[in-house]
Structure 1
C-alpha cells in the first residue's frame, strides 16, 4: 500500500513538472519574488514603500508614517487564524475523548475488540490511519505558520548591517531559525508519543487489534496543546522596527524592494519630495551598503 501511494505521488509530480513552468526552485521568498518580477507574473506597485502585507488589498497609496511595531501573523492573515483554530481543535478533541474514556462515560474502549485477519488487520490499519492523519494535519497546519515566520525573518535581515541575501542556504535558513528548530523538535516528540500510545497487537491465535486508551489520548492531547500554544505564540508576536512585515507575501515584497541584488539593504532613501501638507520620504533597498534608518516622524510613500 505504501509503495502504491508513493508511486502515485511520483507519477503526479512528473506530470505536474512536464506541464508547469517553474521560475525558480529556491525556497527563499526574496528569490521567488525576484523570479516572478523577472517573468512579469507580478509587477511593483508605486507609492507603497511602507505598506505591510496586512495592507496589500488596500488600494489607497496615501503617505503613511512608519510604525515601531509591525502587525503579527494573526492580525495580518485570517487564514492563519483558521489554521491555529484547527490545531487547538485537534488538541481539544484528544484531551476530551481521552477524558471520556478514563471516566467511563463511553461503553467503548479502543483496542478491546480483536477479530481474525484479514478483517482485523484492515480495521486496525484504518484506525491507525485515521488517527495519524488527524495528527499529521494538525502538525502540517503548524508548519505553515512556521514557514511564514521563517520567510519574514529572511526579509527582516535587510534592515541589519549585513543585509538580506537573495538566495540563501535552505538548510541554514531551517536550522538557523529558532522557530523552525523548536517546531521540528515538537514534531519529533509528537510522532514519538503517537508511536508509543497507538499500536497494532496480535492476540491469542489469529486475532489482530489496535490499542489506544484514554491515558494515551490525554498524553497525545497534552503534547498537541503545547504545539498549539507554541504556534499561537509565534503567530501573535509583533516584529519590532519600522520595516514593513511581508511574511513571504510576494506582492508585498515586490512593492517594498525597488533595487534587486544578491545582497540587499533596506532603509531610508530620500525625503522632502512630493506635493502635500507634509514632506514625503521614500524607503527602499540598496545593494552597496547599509541605508540610514527611516525617520519615524516622516511620512513615506
Structure 2
C-alpha cells in the first residue's frame, strides 16, 4: 500500500506541474489566436488548436511537442517506481526466503524532469512571443479586451440571440425558458464526447484482449487462482499475462530496452492522456457559461477574475483535476513492472498486465465519460441566452460592461435587454427583444 501511495503522489505532482504550465500555455494561445482574428471561443483545446507559423511557440509543431511531452510526463512517472524481490540466502548459499522491495529508476526520473522542464520552456516562450490581452480566464474579460482593441464589433439588435443562433439572420427573438446544451451549441464538444467514449471502447477492447490471451495461454498454469479474486489493487491472486526482457546479467538492461518499454507504455497511455486533456474543453466551457449566467444573480458578474481563483471556483475543473492523477494511477495498477537485480544492476524487466485492474480502469472511464456526457447535455434554465464562451455572442449581449443583466427598456414592437451597473427587472417572457440599436459603450 505505501508503494501505491507513492505512485499516486507522483501522478498528482505531474498533474499539478503540467496543469500549471498548461494554464500559461492556454492563455498565450488565446492571445495568439486573437492576434490572428481566429479566436471564436474563450476556451480552446490548447494542444489541438494552433496559431500560424511552424516556429511559433503556439504553432502546430510545438503544440505537437507539448502533447508528446505531456504523454511522456505521465509515462515516465509510472515507470519511476519498480518492484523486485530480494532473495535471502544462508551461509551455504541456500535460499531462506525473500522480501519485496521497490527501487527508484534513474532514466524515467530524468525523462520526467526533462519533459516537465521543456513544457515550462515552451509555455514561457509562448508568453513572450505574443502580447497577452488579459491574464483573466473569464470570457467577459476577453470579450472586453477584444472590443477595446477593436478586434471584435458588437452586432446590434441581437440582445436575445444565443450562440446557437449565431448563424441565424434577423435579430428579434422571444426569450427561451430552457437554453440549448453545450452539445448542441459547440461542435467541438461533440467531438470530445465521441473521443471519451472511444477511449472507453479502446480500454474495453484492451481488457477483453488481455482476458482472452490469459484464457488461452495462462489459464492452465494459473488454474489455482479463484474466480472470486477480483480486487481493486493487484495481489497474488490477480490474473495477469506477462512478458520479460532477456536476462542480461553481464551488462544489465541497456538503454535500448528502457526505450522499448517507455514507448510501449506511452503508446498505450497516450490516448488516455489526450482524452483527459480533451475533457478540459467541457469543464472550461461549462465554467464560461456559469460565469456568464451569474449576470442574472443578485451579485451579478465578477469582472477581472484571477485565473487561479477561477480555477478553484470551477467544480468541473476540480473534478477533472482530481480524476487525472487517479485515472493515470489506475492505469499504472493495470500493469506491473518488476525487475531482476544482479550485483546492484537491473538484469531483467518483466511486464505483467492484470485483467481485473484493466477492467477496473474501463469501469472508471465509463463513469467518467457518463459524467461529462451528462454535463455536455445539460440545458441551462432561464431566459438568459447561452453563450458557452462564444466571444461574438457575448459582445452582442453586453451593451454596458457592467455586472447585472436584465430587462432594460420597453418598446414597440421590440423591447431591450442588456447589462447595467444597478439591479434590473427580470426579462419578460412574453416580450420580443431586439436591442436598442445603440452602440455599445466600453468602460476601461
Query: What TM-score results when the alignment is normalised by the length of structure 2?
Result: 0.62
- Once residues 199 and 45 of structure 1 are traced to their aligned partners in structure 2, the CA distance between those partners, rounded to angstroms, is 58
Aligned equivalent of 2:184 = 75
Deviation per residue, 1:78-132 (Å, 9 max, x gap): 2111111001101111112212221337779763232352233222111222222
Aligned equivalent of 1:300 = 433
1:183 to 288, 304, 320: 320
Give the direction of change, closer, same or farther, for the CA distance of 1:106–1:141 in structure 2 (3 Å limit).
farther
Give the direction of change, closer, same or farther, for the CA distance of 1:176–1:9 in structure 2 (3 Å limit).
closer
Deviation per residue, 1:164-213 (Å, 9 max, x gap): 11123444433334323333333242122123223432136501133333
Matched, 1:208 2:349: yes
* Residue segments in structure 1 that go unaligned for 5+ positions in a row: 274-278
- Once residues 192 and 63 of structure 1 are traced to their aligned partners in structure 2, the CA distance between those partners, rounded to angstroms, is 52
When structure 1 is superposed on structure 2, of 6-15 and 87-96 the one drifting more is: 6-15
1:122 to 259, 262, 278: 259
Aligned equivalent of 1:248 = 389
- Once residues 232 and 260 of structure 1 are traced to their aligned partners in structure 2, the CA distance between those partners, rounded to angstroms, is 33
- Once residues 214 and 237 of structure 1 are traced to their aligned partners in structure 2, the CA distance between those partners, rounded to angstroms, is 35
Shift of 1:267: 0.7
- Once residues 211 and 29 of structure 1 are traced to their aligned partners in structure 2, the CA distance between those partners, rounded to angstroms, is 47
* 1:298 alignment partner, SS class: coil
Deviation per residue, 1:4-33 (Å, 9 max, x gap): 434433443344333312111111111111
Matched, 1:192 2:329: yes
* 1:234 alignment partner, SS class: helix
Aligned equivalent of 1:45 = 155
Aligned equivalent of 1:268 = 407
* Residue segments in structure 2 that go unaligned for 5+ positions in a row: 1-110, 219-239, 435-444
1:282 to 394, 398, 416: 416
Aligned equivalent of 1:66 = 175
Is contact 1:128–1:198 with CA below 8 Å preserved after alignment? no
When structure 1 is superposed on structure 2, of 33-42 and 6-15 the one drifting more is: 6-15
Aligned length, in residue pairs? 292
Aligned equivalent of 1:5 = 115
Query: What CA RMSD, in Å, does the superposition of the two structures yield over aligned residues?
Result: 2.1
- Once residues 165 and 257 of structure 1 are traced to their aligned partners in structure 2, the CA distance between those partners, rounded to angstroms, is 14
Is contact 1:120–1:207 with CA below 8 Å preserved after alignment? no
Is contact 1:266–1:284 with CA below 8 Å preserved after alignment? yes
Is contact 1:124–1:200 with CA below 8 Å preserved after alignment? no
Deviation per residue, 1:115-172 (Å, 9 max, x gap): 3522332221112222222111111111110100011001100001110111234444
Matched, 1:235 2:376: yes
When structure 1 is superposed on structure 2, of 165-174 and 93-102 the one drifting more is: 165-174
When structure 1 is superposed on structure 2, of 205-214 and 23-32 the one drifting more is: 205-214
* 1:226 alignment partner, SS class: helix
Aligned equivalent of 2:242 = 111
Aligned equivalent of 1:276 = none
* 2:242 alignment partner, SS class: coil
Is contact 1:120–1:209 with CA below 8 Å preserved after alignment? no
Q: Which has the larger radius of gyration?
A: 2
Aligned equivalent of 2:284 = 147
Q: Using CA pairs below 8 Å that are at least 6 residues apart, which structure has the higher relative contact order?
A: 1
Matched, 1:27 2:129: no
Query: What TM-score results when the alignment is normalised by the length of structure 1?
Result: 0.89
